[in-house]
């Protein structure tokens, strides 16, 4: 309990110190804004455009795949250390785990989710991927036009 109290005092003091200094700075400093000062800081370089840009969703897929396989490595490492002689139980325990990941990976690859240029035209020709253009057109003809305009803007 004593250690908790000292930690609480430490945390409280740390937070109070920061807030107090910010407050002092706010009270003391002069406020003369100009366009140069309020510009976005980009390592000293002149900024190009706004920072409110749309981020390409495809980077998330890459990041997600990195995460999945990074976690796989993290889990396989202790597995390899525990079963260093590679006995049969190691295969029995490890194979389903890796197998399931491989199945998911193959499915993503096969359905075209990993194609960098994943346009509607591309996917509808293949007839495999996420957006089924025929049924989309049946339900919502406007969406089809929207999809096409996205593709045009992309190229």
Partner 1 sequence: MPEIWLVLGMCAVILVPFLKRTSVALPTGAALAALFFALAATTYTLVGDSGGTAVLGTLTIDPFSQFVKLIVILFAILVIAQWIITTRGQTAAGDTPDFLCLLLGAALGMSLMSSASNLLMIFVAMESASYPSYALAGFRKRHRIGTEGSLKYVVFGSAASAIMVYGMSLVYGMTGTLNLSDIASQIAGLSHTSSAVTGTTPALAAIGLLLIFAGVAFKLSAVPMHFWCPDVFQGAPFEVTTFLSVASKGAAVALLVRLLFTLGAASPVNSGLFTGVGVGVAILGAATATWGNLVALHQTNIKRLLAYSSISHAGYMIMACSLIALAPNTATAHTAITAVLFYLVVYMFMNLGAFTVGAAIAAQQNTEDIREYAGMSKRSPILAALMTVFLLSLFGMPGLGGFMGKVFLMQAMSDAGPAGFVLIAVLLINTLLSLAYYVKPAYYMYFTADKESRPTIFPSPAALLMLFVCAAALFWTGLLANKANSFAGAHAVLMQPANAAAAAPTLINGLPTVAVPIVDRHD
Distance separating alpha carbons of residues 139 and 143, to the nearest angstrom: 9
Which position among 76, 90, 114, 131 is part of the footprint of partner 1 (CB under 8 A)?
131
Alpha carbon distances (Å) from 138 to 63, 120, 144: 34, 15, 10
Nearest alpha carbon to residue 27 among 15, 35, 19: 19
- Which string of x and - marks every residue 34-73 that binds partner 1 (by CB under 8 A)? ----------------------------------------
Q: Does 130 bind partner 1 (CB under 8 A)?
A: yes
Which position among 103, 117, 121, 125 is part of the footprint of partner 1 (CB under 8 A)?
103
CB 124 within 8 A of CB 113: no
Residue listed under structure tokens 């969703």:
57
Footprint of partner 1 on 6-25 (CB under 8 A): none
Binding residues for partner 1 (CB under 8 A)? 1, 81-82, 99-100, 103-104, 106-107, 110-111, 127-132, 135-136, 139-140, 143
């Amino acid at each position: 309990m004593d250690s908790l109290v000292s930690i609480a005092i430490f945390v409280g003091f740390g937070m109070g110190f920061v807030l107090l200094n910010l407050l002092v700075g706010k009270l003391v400093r002069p406020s003369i804004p100009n366009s140069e000062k309020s510009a976005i800081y980009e390592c000293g370089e002149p900024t190009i455009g706004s920072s409110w840009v749309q981020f390409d969703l495809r980077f998330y897929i890459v990041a997600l795949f990195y995460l999945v396989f990074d976690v796989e490595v993290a889990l396989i490492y202790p597995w390899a250390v525990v079963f260093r002689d590679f006995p049969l139980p190691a295969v029995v325990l490890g194979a389903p785990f890796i197998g399931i990941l491989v199945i998911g990976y193959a499915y993503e690859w096969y359905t075209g989710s990993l194609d960098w240029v994943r346009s509607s035209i591309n996917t509808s020709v293949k007839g495999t991927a996420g957006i089924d253009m025929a049924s989309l057109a049946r339900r919502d003809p406007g969406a089809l036009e929207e999809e096409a305009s996205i593709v045009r803007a992309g190229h």
